[in-house]
Copies of this chain bind each other. A is one copy, B any other.
């Protein structure tokens, strides 16, 4: 992010936070929040660019269709909303085939159907680069929107599932093409690769957490725990301590780390695009929350640390030994 782009965001943020009638929250969270009637609505937009946010060369179009929606569905999930409507703008390079587009649209349609979300608009334009711009509108229950800003000292930090899988999957895919085919065919890394190519937005979980009344802040893991939890800390005016031995990971992550000579902990803390949720829970509420998740047929969440006074995100690698990891997460090559 250059100085001027930061200035741009800051300018928008400063002027527009909650000053318009019906606007609850402008820039600075996963979604903007507005209240057109008696219930809050959420809106989020994201642009994905070939070679920066994905590689068309090895991202199957159907899965890219799913993922380009998942990124925004995840933003709605992260605030406890139910996605309702989507808009899709496609900038299409001339070499894109009709089959590619058919597959892409099938993927878009499939994931939207799974989440009861309807495509209500969009446009397609010709360009040199493939670029995908998605806007998703969601609805939340009155009083049940979860912001980044609600975390309090003593809260437990939890995540919804294994971390680092997507980054490891990407690293496996970025190997040479021959290896890539092998990864797919042997099936050894299927779960890691699927985490990258076809992440699942945690919509049901987000709704349950928002309705539970036990969660104080939430955000989705798009840029890695070190960065995403830092957003929660900054917005809440608190710090966080994460314990390395509590961070959940898929068993294959260790094997992939060995295979690629890469530390799994780096993927876990700094790898982006897991699209799990990170959230904070009042300290006494964890057992009740886990029981609720079980009752709803959802996987238990994982305690990974705690919120404390101060600022910044710190990692306890072994008892008594802390290092700061604030905002050390993944940045897309072109992300501002």
- Interface-located stretch among A129-137, A237-245, A312-320: A129-137
Q: Does A290 contact B (CB under 8 A)?
A: no
Q: How many whole Å from A53's CB to the nearest CB in chain B?
A: 7
Q: How far is the CA of A43 from the CA of B88 in the complex (A)?
A: 12
Contacts of A85 in B (CB 8 A): 20, 23, 32, 34, 43
Sample of 14 A–B contacts (CB below 8 Å): A16-B118, A19-B118, A26-B119, A27-B120, A27-B122, A36-B37, A36-B41, A37-B38, A45-B122, A52-B125, A125-B334, A125-B336, A127-B129, A135-B135
Contact residue among B31, B127, B131 (Cβ-Cβ distance under 8 Å from A52): B127
Q: How far is the CA of A12 from the CA of B41 in the complex (A)?
A: 23
Cβ A46 vs Cβ B124 within 8 A: no
Contacts of A37 in B (CB 8 A): 36-39
Contacts of A39 in B (CB 8 A): 36-37
Contact residue among B2, B26, B92 (Cβ-Cβ distance under 8 Å from A120): B26
Name the interface size band of chain A.
Answer: 35 or more
Q: How many whole Å from A265's CB to the nearest CB in chain B?
A: 28
Contacts of A57 in B (CB 8 A): none
- Interface-located stretch among A97-105, A182-190, A302-310: A97-105
Q: How far is the CA of A84 from the CA of B22 in the complex (A)?
A: 9
Contacts of A332 in B (CB 8 A): 125
Q: Does A261 contact B (CB under 8 A)?
A: no
Q: Say yes or no: A32-B127 contact (C-beta < 8 A), given A5-B101, A105-B11.
A: no
* Chain B residue nearest to A45 in the complex (CB): B87
Q: Does A311 contact B (CB under 8 A)?
A: no
Query: What does the 1/0 interface line of A48-63 toward B look like (CB < 8 Å)?
Result: 1100110000000000
Q: Does A249 contact B (CB under 8 A)?
A: no
Cβ B336 vs Cβ A101 within 8 A: no
Cβ A32 vs Cβ B92 within 8 A: no
Contacts of A53 in B (CB 8 A): 125
Interface residues of A (CB under 8 A from B): 2-5, 7-9, 11-12, 15-16, 19-20, 22-23, 26-27, 31-32, 34, 36-39, 41, 43-49, 52-53, 84-85, 87, 89, 91-92, 98, 101-102, 105, 109, 116, 118-129, 131, 133, 135, 137, 139, 332-336
Contacts of A119 in B (CB 8 A): 12, 15-16, 26-27
Contacts of A124 in B (CB 8 A): 5, 8-9, 336
Contacts of A105 in B (CB 8 A): 8, 11-12
